[in-house]
């Protein structure tokens, strides 16, 4: 078994290095599943096996990742090598909460659908009414707070530098340690009560005592949340894989490259 995995790694390594994707080796693979998993930089779409959903399919607490055709969104996607650039929470009753340049705000379902070009939802399998109540309380407390501009400015060079930690065949624990260590140096220790989009999602879930990861929320991007989905390879250690719920909206197939992925039951 180990010899077979070694041959697989040797055959795949050159292509993976060029791709620059994090990997995970399973030394006891499930029959029919690959021993070497590669981080999915692309996005499942309804045209290749993904699920088309409507806002009525959302549940309070769902994590919604999205992108637009704006220059800012394209820049974030380019830096993080991911098809999403924004993260928000669905609170229920047709309300989304998010941290944007104007600060933490809520948007109606219609406003959110009109404003984004791609919208995909994920769900924590352990979410229940007490956690939903805590997410709502956290959101009400912080609506109107200012945007973490300093944090997002530091994210750009950090997102580029951390790619060295995510080279193929680097063990997950080493990758996690490398990213967290680099964050401690580049992002510093200074914290405030401001948020950028993915940081807000992480802090809300932490407040609800359902942390997605023990990593500093300031180092987590929408791309990191995407890779926390079930079947993917997360860049940092996660407490619980997220379930893919489906797409409320998807861009052109030419823009959203297609890959296969397992849907939740």
Q: Which position among 142, 178, 197, 227 bears the catalytic label?
A: 197
Q: Which position among 86, 124, 142, 247 bears the catalytic label?
A: 247
Residue 238 near residue 172, CB atoms below 8 Å = no
What the block records as the tokens of 84 is: 């999403």
Angle of helix 71-80 versus helix 149-161 axis, rounded to 10: 40
Residue 108 near residue 94, CB atoms below 8 Å = yes
Cα–Cα distance measured from residue 175 to residue 244, given in angstroms and rounded to the nearest whole number? 24
Beta-carbon-side half-sphere exposure of residue 7 (alpha carbons within 13 Å): 3
Let me know if 197 is a catalytic residue.
yes
Cα–Cα distance measured from residue 123 to residue 140, given in angstroms and rounded to the nearest whole number? 21
> Which DSSP string corresponds to 114-132?
HH-SEEEEEE-TT--HHHH
Residue 206 near residue 238, CB atoms below 8 Å = no
Enumerate the active-site residues: 197, 247
């Amino acid at each position: 078994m180990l010899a077979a995995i070694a041959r697989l790694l040797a055959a795949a390594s050159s292509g993976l290095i060029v791709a620059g994707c994090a990997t995970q080796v399973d030394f006891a693979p499930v029959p029919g599943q690959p021993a070497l998993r590669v981080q999915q930089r692309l996005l499942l779409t309804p045209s290749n096996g993904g699920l088309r959903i409507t806002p009525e399919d959302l549940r309070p607490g769902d994590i919604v990742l999205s992108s637009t055709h704006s220059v800012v969104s394209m820049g974030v996607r380019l830096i993080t090598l991911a098809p999403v650039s924004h993260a928000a929470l669905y609170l229920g009753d047709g309300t989304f909460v998010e941290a944007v340049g104007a600060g933490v705000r809520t948007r109606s379902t219609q406003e959110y659908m009109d404003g984004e070009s791609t919208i995909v939802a994920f769900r924590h399998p352990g979410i229940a009414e007490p956690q939903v109540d805590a997410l709502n309380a956290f959101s009400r407390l912080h609506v109107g707070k200012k945007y973490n501009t300093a944090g997002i400015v530091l994210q750009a060079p950090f997102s580029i530098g951390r790619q060295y930690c995510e080279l193929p065949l680097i063990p997950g624990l080493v990758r996690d340690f490398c990213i967290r260590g680099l964050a401690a140096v580049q992002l510093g220790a200074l914290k405030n009560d401001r948020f950028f989009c993915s940081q807000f999602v992480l802090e809300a879930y932490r407040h609800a005592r359902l942390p997605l990861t023990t990593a500093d929320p300031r180092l987590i991007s929408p791309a990191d949340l995407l890779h926390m989905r079930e079947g993917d390879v997360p860049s940092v250690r996660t407490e619980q894989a997220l379930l893919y719920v489906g797409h409320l909206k998807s861009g052109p197939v030419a823009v959203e490259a297609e890959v296969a992925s397992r849907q939740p039951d």
